[in-house]
Structure 1
Amino acid sequence: MFWVWMIIVSLIAGIIFGPLARLVLPGKQNISLGWTILGGGIGAFLGGLIAYFLGVKDTSGPDWIQYLIQVICAAIVIAIISARNSKPSAA
């Protein structure tokens, strides 16, 4: 049940972490809002897994280290999606 909850929360977190990740990336990313949210959700899920395996524990307040890891992972995922979508056209 933990993993199902984590996937649901990660997709919801993608609404926040996706645009945040685009803010920290240099340049312009030519991807849609849907790809931004999906990339943010995937990054949030991967970042949550990394934080879990690193032993970042839940605290009574915000888990800033986990959030930072999730935004970094979201930025990496969005950079990959953006690079895939901006293939040069064949002449």
Structure 2
Amino acid sequence: MGEVSRVTFFVRGRVQGVGFRWWTRARALELGLVGHARNLVDGRVEVVAQGDPDAVHQLEQLLREEPTTTRRPGNIESVVVQPGRTREDLSGFVEG
């Protein structure tokens, strides 16, 4: 197995109740990533993505693109990136 990276994205904006987590899960699965997308009590969505570093970067690019380009639901104001340590116990990509 090649290099693996893990990143947590904290996404702020109108991202809850608009299908954003479902959209993120679909894109992550297409990219072969594992992790989750879950709502936080402060209105942000936490997206944890682990896998091929290029795929993680592609997901970040999708999160940052204009929604008209990607048909992404919601309206993202900011994305904060926090690198993390990879975990062996992750499988699939879930909405939490």
Q: Give me the TM-score of the superposition, normalised by structure 1.
A: 0.33
| Structure with greater helix share of residues | 1
More strand by share: 2
Taking CA–CA contacts closer than 8 Å with sequence separation of 6 or more, which of the two structures ends up with the larger relative contact order?
Answer: 2
